[in-house]
Structure 1
Amino acid sequence: MPRIEPFEAHAERYDAWFERHQASYVSELLALRAFVPLSGRGLEIGVGGGRFAAPLGVEVGVAPSRTMLERARARGIEVFEGAAEHLPFADDSFDHALVVTTLCFVDSPAAMLAEARRVLRPAGTLVIGFIDRDSPLGRDYEAHREASVFYRDATFYCARDVERLLLEAGFSVRSWAQTLARPLAETANIEPARPGRGECAFVVVAAMNDKPAR
């Protein structure tokens, strides 16, 4: 079952995080911007309130929470209600897909990636942004998970886990980037993204859909 209750009940609180942590939010956007294509039809899986899809030019979003979808719609996103593991789109519908801080909330990452591969065209791009479980921030989130309205039922992953999931789903991993080297409370300035993984909390991976053309 999609974990929508916290987002339905506390949508405004979740959305306000981006205002309280403006420097961290923009740092994440910049890390993603390098990998999200500027052209083609894009989808954000787990679009939430559209905080990433809108500035990155991703025109379509899907999520199970109607309350969050209304916020995304207000930001100009064409929204659809649905779970990441059962996307309401035909095969080969999109040129690229975006998944940001959603992996930890889905019931089955493998099923989500299988659906992403299905709706992406051959050689389409999948961009995933996530909090690395092995980073100081990831360990802090994990340690205090039970006290968080949003992360109580979350499952965090490290970069190795995400790479393995992508390869098993039929994607080729192309590039990594990372940002947020300091704790959120100490991040007062926008951080430039750096290549690789293993040093920062927010990690971005770009992968290519390897399914053959029809």
Structure 2
Amino acid sequence: MPKAAPFEEHHERYDAWFGEHAFAYLSELLALRPFVPWQGRGLEIGVGTGRFAAPLGVGVGLDPAPAMLAHAAARGIEVVEGVAEHLPFADHSFDHALLVTTLCFLDAPDQALREARRVLTPDGRLVIGFVDRNSALGQLYAQRREQSLFYREATFRSAEEVEQLLLGSGFAIEAWGQTLAQAPDEMCEIDPLRPGHGQCPFVVVAASPACAPSEVSLAGWVRAPEERPGPGAGLVRRADRFTGPG
């Protein structure tokens, strides 16, 4: 698969990025944390090296690149080789599903989202993390796409386009969040999660296949990470283990 080839060939370089940009990585991780349920069976579609699934407690990961899956398996993930458009799982197999910077690489994102809806329980949740095309960083990535090893085949989308994809695939939007006010190379501290979208490039959206969206509260998560109560504070400490290679 052409889009998976750079990740297969350069899997170590990909995984090393998270250690080299620890503040950006932890900011994204903490932005996802309020949306991903602590309990239930979870699936990450496009799990990569498991950098998000492992600390977020998502037990199963799917990816088309075997070398990436080897990293994820080493992090304790149950790995399955496959593609998002044809998930090799039975209906209603998972309580929640996660896609992090995966949507931009899908050949048929609408089909992939319908597949995600199929494998989710009726009261399940889909969480998507993506780079907003309309953000300054998203535009920079798009402009330099041809020079990028990993983003050469990417199709970046705006928050509005992701929303339309979700609604067209039978999901109801629950909540939005965003982070990375600075470019990853410029960050010297963890950036807090902010509600909504439109100000920061890394956007998180939670959606439900149910008719009525369930409540997702960001209260207590829009402050600096060290001020966050409960699970967030613990995550900062535990996530330190995942900033290095493997």
Q: TM-score, normalised by structure 2?
A: 0.84
1:27-46 to 2 correspondences below 5 Å? 27-46=27-46
| Letter matched to residue 54 of structure 2 | A
Percent identity over the alignment? 64
Q: Helix, strand or coil: the match of 2:17?
A: helix
Residues 184-203 of structure 1 show CA distances to partners (whole Å, capped at 9, x for unaligned) of 22211001101000000100
Structure 1: runs of 5 or more not aligned: none
The residue aligned with 1:167 is 167
Q: Helix, strand or coil: the match of 1:117?
A: helix
How far is the alpha carbon of 1:210 from its aligned partner? 2.6
Alpha-carbon distance between aligned partners in 1 of 2:184 and 2:128, rounded to the nearest angstrom: 20
The residue aligned with 1:107 is 107
The root-mean-square deviation of aligned C-alpha atoms, in Å, is 1.2
1:60-209 to 2 correspondences below 5 Å? 60-209=60-209
Structure 2: runs of 5 or more not aligned: 213-246
Alpha-carbon distance between aligned partners in 2 of 1:170 and 1:37, rounded to the nearest angstrom: 20
| Letter matched to residue 50 of structure 1 | G
Alpha-carbon distance between aligned partners in 1 of 2:201 and 2:188, rounded to the nearest angstrom: 15
Q: Helix, strand or coil: the match of 2:104?
A: coil
Q: TM-score, normalised by structure 1?
A: 0.97
The runs of at least 4 consecutive aligned structure 1 residues that moved more than 6 Å come to none
Q: Helix, strand or coil: the match of 1:161?
A: helix
Residues 159-211 of structure 1 show CA distances to partners (whole Å, capped at 9, x for unaligned) of 00000000000000010000001122221100110100000010000000137
Equivalent pairs counted in the alignment come to 212
| Letter matched to residue 59 of structure 2 | E
Contact map agreement 1:2 1:83 (CA 8 A) in 2: no
Contact map agreement 1:122 1:211 (CA 8 A) in 2: no
The residue aligned with 1:21 is 21
The residue aligned with 1:55 is 55
